[in-house]
Structure 1
Amino acid sequence: MNEIKLYKSPWKAIRLLLLCLPFVVLGVLDLSYHNFESDWVSWCCICFFGLGIPFGIFNLFDKRPQIIINETGIFDRSAYKDFINWDIIDHAYWNTSYKQAFVCLIIKDEFKHLIEGNEKLRKLSKAMGYEEINIDLGPVSNIDHEKLTGLIVNLASAKPSDRGLLINKTLHRSPDQKQI
């Protein structure tokens, strides 16, 4: 079975590390300047920005795919436990919030009861212009969210026998065509 696998961007992890390290170093230097006496600003700086370092290291070395698209459905590792089957997806659209792209999946009415989660959060999500199921494209590197949304719409509306061909065609595009 062919799959499209989208991975986390290592550059975003490096950027997180580069943004956190100077604040941690400045906090340690400030503490050493005061002979490691209690300076709450330095400790807050070290503790807060120090949390970004293990997250950045983990994301840098995490080689698991973030999003998997195959003939069965779409899987987003950060948000869901299982594949979202193509048969329950009615439509999809993309939305951005503060330069963060999301693919919003509209679920068919007969399958909405299968969606788990807090009802208030789902209503808030709807009020903000999103859906009950949203795929975050922020961690993924160099993705064209418009083309990915088009692919999801095509796969959701295609016959099950044609989905493998669509994925194959997407995987084997010519080098001059931009990938998703």
Structure 2
Amino acid sequence: MNEIKLYKSRWKAIRLMLLCLPFIIVALWDLRYETTLMPDWVSWLCLCFFGWGVPIGIFNLLDRKPQIIINETGIFDRSAYKDFINWDIIEHAYWNTSYKQTFVCLIIKDQFKHLIQIKSKLKEVSLAMGYSEININLGPIRNIDHQKLTALIVNLAKADPSARATLLSQSNNLPVKH
């Protein structure tokens, strides 16, 4: 079975740790030498908050499971859903960006909307921001062209089940953005 597997970016995990490290060092230095740079409670708060960036970054750096899998059955996002989202329930897809985070938004056919289990307040906020019921976050993924990925998802959703394998084999190497 043809599959496209998209993995988390190692560079983004390293960048997270590198961005947190100066704050951790300043907080430790301030606590160790009891400077008047900032109050102790601010140093502890800074240490606790930015300290989480290191284990999260290490986890993302060592996590080599595919984040998103696209195959003939459907699309699977490991971070948000427990099972594949079947191509037959997807009506359309579009991409949306907010705060430099790109999402692929999947519009579900009306007869399958009852299958989506999202709290009503969260759903209202999501729809008000221009997203749909099901959103796939491309933020942690390696640099991928979100427009071409969205076009592939739309083509696979509209394609005949027998033609999906051909579409997947033709687009096995999704272009990265430069």
Partner in structure 1 of residue 115 of structure 2: 114
Partner in structure 2 of residue 66 of structure 1: 67
Structure 1: 5+ residue stretches without partners: none
- The residue type paired with residue 42 of structure 1 is S
Partner in structure 2 of residue 7 of structure 1: 7
1:26 CA drift (Å): 1.0
1:179 CA drift (Å): 5.3
Please say if residues 103 and 135 of structure 2, whose CA atoms lie closer than 8 Å, have aligned partners that are also in contact.
yes
1:132 CA drift (Å): 0.3
Secondary structure in 1 matching 2:163: helix
Change (3 A) 1:172 1:52: closer
Change (3 A) 1:172 1:63: closer
Partners of 1:30 and 1:123 lie apart in 2 by 44
Partners of 2:89 and 2:32 lie apart in 1 by 59
- The residue type paired with residue 164 of structure 2 is R
Partner in structure 2 of residue 146 of structure 1: 147
Partners of 2:49 and 2:33 lie apart in 1 by 20
Partner in structure 2 of residue 168 of structure 1: 169
Partner in structure 1 of residue 79 of structure 2: 78
Secondary structure in 2 matching 1:57: helix
Matches within 5 A, 1:92-111: 92-111=93-112
Structure 2: 5+ residue stretches without partners: none
Secondary structure in 1 matching 2:171: helix
Change (3 A) 1:114 1:162: same
Tell me how many residue pairs correspond in the alignment. 174
- The residue type paired with residue 158 of structure 1 is A
Deviating runs (4+, > 4 A) in structure 1? none
Secondary structure in 1 matching 2:106: strand
Secondary structure in 2 matching 1:160: coil
Partners of 2:173 and 2:115 lie apart in 1 by 35
1:52 is the counterpart of 2:64: no
Please say if residues 143 and 176 of structure 2, whose CA atoms lie closer than 8 Å, have aligned partners that are also in contact.
no
| Aligned residues: CA RMSD | 1.5
1:152 CA drift (Å): 0.2
User: What TM-score results when the alignment is normalised by the length of structure 2?
Assistant: 0.94
Secondary structure in 2 matching 1:161: coil
Secondary structure in 1 matching 2:123: helix
Partners of 1:155 and 1:73 lie apart in 2 by 8
1:42 CA drift (Å): 1.1
Partners of 1:98 and 1:179 lie apart in 2 by 20
Secondary structure in 2 matching 1:65: coil
